Chain A
């Protein structure tokens, strides 16, 4: 037995990484953008550049180039340099670059991908009760630390956001896809910032539902609500794609891209960490909540609210003893028995 020795911060020294091939730096990337990075060489333009992230457009797609201390967005390439070393400074004056063949070059940065991560978290089994209990901790934490909402001057908007999100949830619950879409449209693009509040809440709701549903679907072994439980993720996915498609032009391109990823259950790493913490139940939910809340000026909080709405949607849905049939025109799509394990739903693209 050792009496635990109290630990300060870890000792990772910022040692400059060695170049891999002929001067290129190692970078880590989301597998969601693998097709862009591994495909043929294409041109890339800088849309916007900030100390911790630069947003690059590749045709209709968007890639976030972030510093090591930046947010791992679901479409991010992460540098091995922190923002304190200002690696993105020169991007403003060199707005064009190339992407493809496992690399990205822009400005004075030549990057080669040395590791992939999957931005869609695969979660272990949980139960509605456990999920509610864990997410309640987040709810409490949010109430305790969030403070006044920044849109205090837009009190009407605040109410709009909350109402509209609630309406989306209610509509999804009863399977009314059109009503859900209409409510969502009210808040796409609503709010200040690179990713408006409305978008972030929707992203949280949609992605959260998609990744949490399989986690609790398997807990109730396909009982009376079997039909209802398989409808919801499908309906949510449809909604997500519709919202993302309609978002182009209604909101910033950065935000529209993130909505597209959300429609596939792909989320920023701090959001991923939070849902994992909820499901694991023995992990530090409060710390994960704080990490997500720290994202952006209000993005973190809005994503959190979206994720909490997902939990409501999924767990209240269970409580309803019966439901009317789906009002959406498309038939319910059955999930495979081990939904998380079906590789065909994986994000990996085949290398041609």
Chain B
């Protein structure tokens, strides 16, 4: 007979967890019947109890199938690894036609696919403005007629490697930020932020809007291009990291990030030899817009998430976006498919005399920030935001903390000081949303439903659960058996 105790010792090493189980009263996790939790507490057992509830919509079969899919765990791990490994850098300004491959008469827009018929006020207004800007029409009425006639070719920004805030309409002549993810070599694009008030992205199409767009094309774009050429490239991730520790969450609050950007871009701007008459205007323009950085942060997130697409079996969300009518998501394992449901009107605080009646349903690709571990997921870094969206500072903390339950990982770079520099929740998993009943926390600007009204408020959005249940069903259909 083998030396029993040597055998014993060797077996002990190999079966570490098995041995540890029997060595003393175990520490426990309980999920389910409360009776068993209480008998364990009576016995003085150390335990953590799961606040369990059944998954939404009775999706137990589907969840089991996805969990049993041998590809899922690895695919999800890969997705998260890629997302957090991203190194987004601003590398240039590119004309939209070249950046996203659109031609005259073709437009990109925020959110999942939409038609003129279904589009809301701000979206239609933005398309009208774009048509005027491109010279496809002379008057708004003519432009609208083109839309009515169904002669517009529209595609989501997301489908062309781009993102756009609010209406997010992109036309060929517009200059776009090019953000390259140095870790993977992919690039994402976003137009430059026009500022607040009467702007294209809120559906305004007055002459001032068109004039400004032309100025951005002729003056601002080239100036930015010259500046970034001076620099070579600008580390966007570094600005995000710092801004998050200065009270920004990079979706609804970009003040610190925009200030940091100004600090980075002004010296090369000065060195770039731009005509002095333009210089002041350019600096004043970017300096006066506290959301200027949003249009860099969004494509940074997009560039981080795109490499995580198309991993078979993965249940990670790679895009969340709204077009003013629908709220849509895409997951890594379901390719180009959009899962959509009606977008709701955000709930929050309204500016001036505005009220919920003036508000448009949720709109914009800016939820790419939440998808990438910023925005609502980083709200704990920006408690001041409750002044705009309502609630108390503790709610901001709670928002982030709840998100860990639906995320697969924690961002190694985006750290939140008040949570002891814990990384933001990243890698949203649709199965965990359906299991816990917790939907992603989103805080956003609220657009006026009448085109051209501009921002009427800011608040919190509850993404519709249906998009996540639909995604789970789709993933279950293609799940492989063990």
Contacts and interface: CB of A to CB of B under 8 A. Distances in A.
Q: A and B touching (C-beta < 8 Å)?
A: yes
Interface of A: 1-3, 5-6, 10-12, 15, 17-18, 20, 26, 28, 68, 78, 80, 114-115, 117, 124-127, 218-219, 221, 272-273, 276, 280-283, 337-338
A125 B12 contact: yes
Given A3-B410, A11-B48, A282 B13 contact: yes
B408 A3 contact: yes
B44 A80 contact: yes
Interface residues of B, number: 38
A219 B9 contact: yes
A127 B9 CA distance: 9
A78 B45 CA distance: 12
Given A6-B422, A218-B4, A219-B9, A78 B44 contact: yes
B118 interface: no
A193 B230 CA distance: 75
Contacts of B48: 10-12
Contact of A2 (B8, B16, B23, B408): B408
A283 B9 CA distance: 15
Contacts of A68: 44
Nearest to B73: A1
Contacts of A17: 38, 41-42
Contact of B47 (A12, A78, A219): A12
Contacts of A338: 4
A276 B42 contact: no
Given A3-B409, A5-B404, A338-B4, A124 B46 contact: no
B276 interface: no
Contacts of A2: 408-409
A273 B24 contact: yes
B77 A126 contact: no
Counting from the closest, the 10 A-B pairs by CB-CB distance are: A218-B5, A3-B409, A1-B77, A125-B5, A125-B9, A26-B42, A125-B8, A115-B43, A28-B44, A124-B12
Contacts of A281: 13
Contacts of B25: 115, 117
Contact of A26 (B24, B43, B423, B427): B43
Given A115-B25, A115-B44, A338-B4, 13 more contacts: A2-B409, A5-B410, A11-B49, A12-B46, A17-B41, A26-B42, A68-B44, A78-B44, A125-B9, A219-B5, A221-B3, A272-B24, A283-B20
Contacts of B12: 124-125, 280
Nearest to B38: A18
B19 interface: yes
B76 interface: yes
Contacts of A15: 38, 41
B43 to A, nearest CB: 4
Interface of B: 3-6, 8-9, 12-13, 16, 19-20, 23-25, 27, 38, 41-44, 46-49, 73-74, 76-77, 80, 84, 404, 408-410, 420, 422-423, 427
Contacts of A3: 80, 84, 408-410, 423, 427
Contact of B20 (A12, A20, A280): A280
Nearest to B412: A3
Contacts of B24: 272-273, 276
B66 to A, nearest CB: 15
Contacts of B4: 218, 337-338
Contacts of B46: 10, 12
13 contacts: A2-B409, A3-B409, A5-B404, A6-B420, A10-B46, A26-B43, A28-B43, A114-B43, A126-B9, A219-B6, A280-B20, A337-B4, A338-B4
Nearest to A218: B5
Nearest to B411: A3
A125 to B, nearest CB: 4
Contacts of A272: 24
A283 B19 CA distance: 11
A1 B27 CA distance: 23
A341 to B, nearest CB: 10
Interface centre among A17, A20, A115, A124 (most CB of B within 10 A): A124
Contacts of B80: 1, 3
Given A5-B410, A115-B43, A276 B23 contact: yes
Nearest to B7: A125
Contacts of B3: 218, 221
A221 to B, nearest CB: 5
A126 B8 CA distance: 9
B408 A18 contact: no
A325 B420 CA distance: 63
A94 B162 CA distance: 78
Contacts of B49: 11
Contacts of A20: 42
A114 B48 CA distance: 20
Contacts of B5: 125, 218-219, 221
Contact of A80 (B19, B27, B42): B42
A337 B48 CA distance: 41
Contacts of A26: 42-44
A80 B46 CA distance: 12
A282 B19 CA distance: 11
Nearest to A281: B13
A281 B409 CA distance: 30
A329 to B, nearest CB: 31
Contacts of A28: 43-44
Contacts of A78: 44
Nearest to A13: B49
Contacts of A219: 5-6, 9
Contact of A18 (B9, B13, B42, B76): B42
A10 B77 CA distance: 26
B73 A124 contact: no
A114 B42 contact: yes
B9 A124 contact: yes
Contacts of A114: 42-43
Contacts of A115: 25, 43-44
Nearest to B78: A1
B405 to A, nearest CB: 10
A283 B404 CA distance: 29
B408 A282 contact: no
Given A17-B42, A28-B44, A218 B8 contact: yes
A72 to B, nearest CB: 10
